[in-house]
Structure 1
Amino acid sequence: MTGWRIIFMGTPEFACPTLQVLIDRGENLLAVVTQPDRPKGRGQKLMPPPVKEVAQRHGIPVYQPLKVRDPAFIEEILRLEPDVIVVVAFGQILPKALLEIPPHGCINVHASLLPRYRGAAPLNWCIVNGESETGVTTMLMDVGLDTGPMLLSRATPIDENENITALHDRMSVMGAQLLAETLDGLKTASIPPREQDNAASCYAPMLKKEDGLIDWSRDARAIHNQVRGLSVWPGAYTFMDGHVLKIYRTRVGNGSGQPGTVLRAAKGAFEIACLAGSIIIEELQTAGKKRLDAASFLAGYPVSEGSLLGTETSGGETP
């Protein structure tokens, strides 16, 4: 326990382990700041962010400003007099007026080995780009996008078949542990901040639906990485018979043929040719239907070997 007055800012599941670590350590949590409740599901019922649910279970005051630049919200944070603000996947850029409030700064837990993969979706893009290693970094925030001085970093390998869900869960726990070490190190002044090398940086932009569109003229490994990096959202997809086909789990094969050609579609094996090698589809979904393993899908949706998967629909269907 540091004894500092702490405000926590975060929103999704990724931020929950860090908040829980602060609670378990007995830190003096003044408040939790998270995004407003959002409508979800078919009924569009307002649902609280995961971080809000954790805070409420432990009786921690929750603030949900529409915009953190709101002068009234900044005045409220000033009134609380935090020593430090911990930020994990909050979802809004903090203004200078807010960053300057805590005397020990705003500490961000970022899911990459900075300065690599600054931006909104570092874990997704490191998988899509075929990285073999990633990690988490704690840093002191400034007005730039993930450009502040680094405090601690921890690396971890990425298995060639690990998808975004598994990596996300591992990194959320690793980030929580690193934040605890960071607070202890700052309390004893044993962690000197290190400036980032801007020349070594790269950007991980917010994901778009079109990022999931599969180009079968790429090599099999690149498509496999795309599938596992986007399996939560937007999902990798192609088109078959004028309909969207979402692909959630694959492995790399050694088949060959015209890119996009169905090489096998029998006995549970669904294999598609790529520019180099092939993709064996293990889990997929057509629009409006359940996600199925390949064997179940092929049992109810016969596919002809030699048919072509493509990037165009005949009926204008969108994913």
Structure 2
Amino acid sequence: MPIESFVLGIHLIMIFLAGAFGGILEFLNRFDLIRDSKSTESNHNSHHVGYRAHPLYDKVELSFRELVWIGFTHTLHGVGGAFAVTLSLFSLNQFKLELTDENQLFLISLYVIGGYGGSRFLDKVKYSIENQFQKSARQMEENLFSRIDTAREKASLEVIASDIISQAYNVLEMKLDKSRSDIQHIVDDLEDLMDKGVTLPRHFWRKAAIMLGRLYRHKFDDLNKGLLALNKFIDGSRKLNKLDEHFVAVLFNVACYKTELIKNSKAENASEGFQEVEKILEEAISISPAVRDQIYGSDDSSTTADKDLKAYRDWQKSQASGQSSS
């Protein structure tokens, strides 16, 4: 056998034995010896108090089989620590193959220290990973339950919203005979829904806004409050940058309400008001061209012109005739 192979073999044996010894030392260092008092009865019916020792590993009493397995893992950790020391010496060009007593004692000391430290370090890494995993698992569980609770709350809110909107619709269609105070309760409920609008599906939020506006308009004769309800949806949608079909539907209602206000006020500056209505309708048409049929009626008469916008259409005609005469 070549001399170098023999020397390497000796070093490997030193690494295994010294590293394992360091791991076992770290394993034994974790034990506490607890003495429990034990009362025994002698043949003369007298009581004798003795003691029984309990070796506890990390303050836990384990079976012999469990201790053997844990001791074995500490041994492996120790060997790994000794190998880590060897690699460190190689990287620093401090590893010597010579088998002098001084060098062997130096290496064995380092291997034992490396085995002890490796066993302790790897065990801490294991516990750290386990704790991190448990923390992540708990976080995932909490997030899951949170999503479930949120889904339940959302579903519950949608049921409530559907019921309130249905009540408002039935009141407006004269299917429910409600007192003014009862209608006010429905209005209050719709106002609450509008405040929670962002958490509602878009179609519920839109219906709540339109129904609230119609109740103010037809049951309380208050177009201004109706407009406020509609504009709350419009402003919220703009902030969310959701200019969709729901936005267009409410925007069209805003134009109708403003037209009605202008017509009822009979103000001299009605032209300015109608110009504002025109801008609103132009925005609605730019998003959904089908709105034009609601304003003027379709060519095939499948859609009739909205009667709420008659005053606006009359204003447009007067503007057109004025321009032609000039």
More RCO (CA 8 Å, sep 6+): 1
Tell me the TM-score normalised to structure 2 length: 0.20
Tell me the TM-score normalised to structure 1 length: 0.21
In terms of fraction of residues, the more helix-rich structure is 2
Say which one has the larger Rg: 2
In terms of fraction of residues, the more strand-rich structure is 1
